Structure 1
Amino acid sequence: MSENDAATTPARRGCGTMPVHHLLMAEDPAYAANRVQIENQAFAYETGTEATERVGLTRIPVVVHVVFHTAAQNIGEDQVTSQIDVLNQDFRALNPDIDKVPEVWKPLVADSRIEFHLATHDPQGQPTDGITRTQTQATKFNIRTNAVKHSSSGGHDAWPDDRYLNLWVCPRIFDPNDPNEILGYAQFPGGPAETDGVVIGHQFFGTTGTASAPFNGGRTTTHEVGHWLNLLHIWGDDDNGCNGSDLVMDTPNSGGPNFRAPNFPRLSCSNGPDGDMFVNYMDYTDDKSMFMFTRGQVARMEATLDSARSSFNGA
Structure 2
Amino acid sequence: MKKLILSTSVLMLLFSCGENETTESVSATSEIAHRGCASHDVLLEKLSENPKLAQRMSEIESFTEKAIQEGKLVNGKIVIPVVVNVLYKTSAENISLAQIQSQIDVLNADFNATNIEYNSVPSVFSGVKADIDISFVLDAVVRKSTKKSSWRTDDSMKKSNKGGINPTSPTTKLNLWVCNLSGGILGYAQFPGGPSATDGVVIDNNAMGTTGSASAPFNLGRTATHEIGHWLNLRHIWGDASCGSDLVSDTPTHNTANYGCPSFPHYSTCSGSPIEMTMNYMDYTNDSCMYMFSNGQKSRMLALFSSGGARNSFAQP
- What TM-score results when the alignment is normalised by the length of structure 2? 0.87
* Contact 1:161–1:194 (CA under 8 A) maintained in structure 2: yes
Q: Deviations over 1:67-93 (max 9, x none)?
A: 101011100000000000000110111
Task: Write the deviation string for residues 266-314 of structure 1: whole angstroms up to 9, x where unpaired.
Answer: 1123466751111000000000000100000001001112211000113
Instruction: Deviation per CA, 1:214-252: give whole Å up to 9, x if none.
Output: 0000000000000000000000001xx22x100101000
The answer on whether the counterparts of 1:218 and 1:287 sit within 8 Å (CA) in structure 2 is yes
- CA offset at residue 9 of structure 1? 5.2
What is the aligned counterpart of 1:107 among 120, 127, 137? 127
| Residue segments in structure 2 that go unaligned for 5+ positions in a row | 1-27
Q: 1:40 aligns with which of 62, 67, 79?
A: 62
Partner of 1:291: 291
Give, as a single letter, the amino acid of the residue that structure 2 aligns with 1:34. R
- Aligned pair 1:309/2:301, yes or no? no
| Preserved contact between residue 59 and residue 314 of structure 1 (Cα < 8 Å) | no
Query: How far does residue 182 in structure 1 lie from its aligned partner after superposition?
Result: 0.6
Q: Partners of 2:97 and 2:251 in 1: how far apart?
A: 36
- Aligned residue for 2:72? 52
Farther-moved stretch of structure 1 (270-279 vs 258-267): 270-279
1:8-47 aligned at under 5 Å gives the runs 10-45=32-67
C-alpha distance in 1 between matches for 2:316 and 2:199: 20
Please name the residue that 1:206 is paired with. Answer: 209
1:150 Cα deviation after fit: 0.9
1:133 positional shift:
0.3
User: Which aligned pairs between 1:64-143 and structure 2 lie closer than 5 A?
Assistant: 64-119=84-139, 130-143=140-153
- Identify which range, 109-118 or 277-286, moves more after superposition: 109-118
| Aligned-partner residue type, residue 55 of structure 1 | N
Does 2:288 match 1:278? Answer: no
Contact kept in structure 2, 1:265 and 1:274, CA below 8 Å: no
Q: CA deviation at 1:53?
A: 4.6
Distance 1:187 1:154 in 2: 20
Local SS of the residue matching 1:142: coil
TM-score (structure 1 length as normaliser): 0.88
Please give the secondary structure, in 1, of the residue aligned with 2:119: helix
Across the two proteins, how many residue pairs are aligned to each other? 288
Are 1:220 and 2:223 matched, yes or no? yes
SS in 1 for 2:298: helix
| Contact 1:252 1:271 (C-alpha < 8 Å) held by counterparts | no
Q: List, as ranges, runs of 4+ consecutive aligned residues in structure 1 with deviation greater than 4 Å.
A: 6-9, 270-274
Which residue of structure 2 lines up, in the alignment, with residue 264 of structure 1?
A: 264
Paired letter, 2:47 = M
Task: Indicate the SS of the match to 2:291.
Answer: coil
Q: 3-state DSSP class of the match of 2:33?
A: coil
Q: Which runs of 5+ in 1 are unaligned?
A: 1-5, 120-129, 175-180
| Amino acid aligned to 2:191 | F
Q: Deviations over 1:2-38 (max 9, x none)?
A: xxxx999521101000011111111113322210111
Fraction of identical pairs, as percent: 47
Query: Quick one: distance in 1 between partners of 2:271 and 2:98?
Result: 42
SS at match of 2:225: helix
